[in-house]
Amino acid sequence: MKRVLMLAAENAAVAGAKVGGMADVIGDLPAALHNEHVAVDVMMPSYGFLVSQLKARFIADVSLPFRGQTTLVEVFIAPHPNVAGSAIYLLDHPHFDAGGAIYTSNNDGRPFADDADKFALMCAAAAQVICQEIVDKPDVLHLHDWHCGVLALLRAYEPRFNALQAIHTVYSVHNLSIQGQRPLCQEHSSLQAWFPELFAKLSVHHDEAMAKIIDPIHAQCFNPMRAAINLCDHLHFVSPTYAKEVMLASECGSGHYGGEGLQDDIAQRAAELRVHGILNGCFYHDTPLELPKRTEQDFAKVLDYAEQCLLNNLANNQWVASQDQIALQRLNQLRRAAKAPSCLLTSVGRLTSQKVALLLQVMADGRYAIEHLLQSLATGQSQGLLILLGSGDEHIEQQLRQVAGRWPQLLFINGFDLPLSQLLYQHGDLFMMPSSFEPCGISQMLAMKAGQPCIVHGVGGLKDTIEHQVDGWVFNGDSLADKVDAMLATVTEAVAMTEQPQFQSMRQQALANRFTWQDVAKAYCEELYEF
């Protein structure tokens, strides 16, 4: 069996170690790859709690130079919870412990500083562990996102880790918009601070190396995402369309998100035939689900559950948050109406500008685009409702809170709750995913799996999973304003369609779609792990 060692910051296979969609990929792939006769071990920081949570067993200490001193990192092993013969390796050091959090945000004007320190140590420790053969020697080293960029750098230029060059190394990009840049030097969190000798060597003798690892815009910064893109053997993007989009420059004006400054590097790697676009997958039930019937009781169930989530929010806080208060009032209004909405739109996702910038575009009349959408739900005889579940950037939460206060057609549940998200996938009529860019996306797959057609922006993985007017709606536009207009027109069209008989066949088509992890695993074996 081929052995792959994945290094990653997140992993949904263990409770508490998921922040975004990358965690699902790391969580789900080992089982699928196991069926293709590939054994996957995952290595990650313990974050101060995983060693005890997983009852992991101590296997070794490694000592390594970091920040100019000898640093001791402990290595633990736990069996993979779902896959026989696979392990989770945990790296433990006080540096990784941020009170249960995976990431910390620096509010001191030094973006990524603490996280960059943490992941630089993770990479150096992982390199040491592999070179000392403390873990089963991998045939493939598979790195994910900027957090692992330092390992690509060490593999290429740190003589102590020369042995790593013999290991085929793959880099997966899940989101190019976060690159983890830090100053090269003269900063507490910088390449020079982490690895003073290596930095001295590179800066004096090695222009060629420097040219591959510095930020293309801020030349005084180290860019770990760029280092990995330029230094790994193969490069993987999480959908075929995203793999093409990133070869073009991003353009703020038109709302195109592309290479984020790294387009030339990626195009260069593509010319070497080292770039692959492989869509992520999702797990499906063995027996296909029946298309769920929509009933009044379902809607009542969604409201009951949403209410419970809001009560949990209240119970866990000393003060009543106004968005929870507004949502409770809306719930009561909806119950008094004693009738399910004619069309239930749903949306589940993290509240970041990637996901909601189009909805929060300010229109000519000074209102947000989402308000025009809500207004269109209020007109005519039919009364539609949008239920939006999510948490994220405070500023976005505040904007949505204001909208929720003004519009009875919006029920905004500020938080994340897995069972409520599942109810929304099951009982919604139309799922909204108007992301400005979407490397792959999982929510659209989950909504379709439950028979709910999606309205999506035709980018990245959304374009690769939804077929316009077959199993959902895909809108596009050349400028930001065009995109917003197209989104609003598409919602109106789709809402009207829900009354038509063809809508049932669109639901059937959505339900029948398959993006299986097994297909993904096969593609990995053919494209990424073959050498």
Residues that bind ligand GLC (CB under 6 A): 20-22, 25, 174-175, 238, 280, 438-442, 461
User: For ligand GLC, which is the closer residue by CB, 62 or 440?
Assistant: 440
Nearest-approach distance from CB 519 to ligand GLC, in angstroms: 15
Of all residues in the shown chain, the one whose CB is closest to ligand GLC is 21
Question: What span, in angstroms and rounded, lies between the C-alpha atoms of 237 and 437?
Answer: 13
Nearest-approach distance from CB 256 to ligand GLC, in angstroms: 16
User: For ligand GLC, which is the closer residue by CB, 21 or 183?
Assistant: 21
User: Nearest 5°: phi and psi at 84?
Assistant: -65, 140
Residue 172, amino acid: S
User: For ligand GLC, which is the closer residue by CB, 21 or 277?
Assistant: 21
Q: What angle do CA 271, 273, 276 make, to 5 degrees?
A: 115
CA–CA distances in Å: residue 63 to residues 121, 141, 214? 11, 21, 28
Pairing of strands 343-348, 430-433: parallel
Nearest-approach distance from CB 236 to ligand GLC, in angstroms: 10
Question: What span, in angstroms and rounded, lies between the C-alpha atoms of 243 and 441?
Answer: 14
Nearest-approach distance from CB 367 to ligand GLC, in angstroms: 28
User: SS3 letters for 63-96?
Assistant: EEEECCEEEEEEEEEEECCCCCCCEEEEEECHHH
User: For ligand GLC, which is the closer residue by CB, 22 or 400?
Assistant: 22
User: For ligand GLC, which is the closer residue by CB, 128 or 175?
Assistant: 175
User: For ligand GLC, which is the closer residue by CB, 115 or 438?
Assistant: 438
DSSP 3-state assignment of 45?
A: strand
Please, are residues 404 and 395 in contact by the beta-carbon 8 Å criterion? no
Nearest-approach distance from CB 173 to ligand GLC, in angstroms: 9
Nearest-approach distance from CB 243 to ligand GLC, in angstroms: 12
Nearest-approach distance from CB 512 to ligand GLC, in angstroms: 21
User: For ligand GLC, which is the closer residue by CB, 20 or 390?
Assistant: 20
User: For ligand GLC, which is the closer residue by CB, 181 or 435?
Assistant: 435
Nearest-approach distance from CB 238 to ligand GLC, in angstroms: 4
What does the DSSP 8-state code read for residue 160?
G
User: For ligand GLC, which is the closer residue by CB, 280 or 323?
Assistant: 280
Neighbouring CB atoms inside 10 A of 249's CB total 13
User: What stretches of 152-265 adopt beta strand conformation (E)?
Assistant: 168-173, 182-183, 221-222, 234-237
Nearest-approach distance from CB 27 to ligand GLC, in angstroms: 11
Neighbouring CB atoms inside 10 A of 173's CB total 25
Question: What span, in angstroms and rounded, lies between the C-alpha atoms of 284 and 305?
Answer: 24
DSSP 3-state assignment of 257?
A: coil
User: For ligand GLC, which is the closer residue by CB, 92 or 260?
Assistant: 260
Nearest-approach distance from CB 442 to ligand GLC, in angstroms: 5
Neighbouring CB atoms inside 10 A of 410's CB total 23
- For residue 271, the surrounding DSSP H or E stretch is helix 263-271
User: For ligand GLC, which is the closer residue by CB, 313 or 452?
Assistant: 452
User: For ligand GLC, which is the closer residue by CB, 384 or 458?
Assistant: 458
What does the DSSP 8-state code read for residue 291?
P
Question: What span, in angstroms and rounded, lies between the C-alpha atoms of 146 and 59?
Answer: 27
CA–CA distances in Å: residue 180 to residues 145, 147, 175? 9, 7, 11
Nearest-approach distance from CB 262 to ligand GLC, in angstroms: 16
Nearest-approach distance from CB 19 to ligand GLC, in angstroms: 9
- 339's CB contacts (< 8 A; 6+ apart) are 296
CA–CA distances in Å: residue 77 to residues 48, 131, 220, 443? 15, 17, 38, 32
CA–CA distances in Å: residue 383 to residues 376, 495, 497? 9, 10, 14
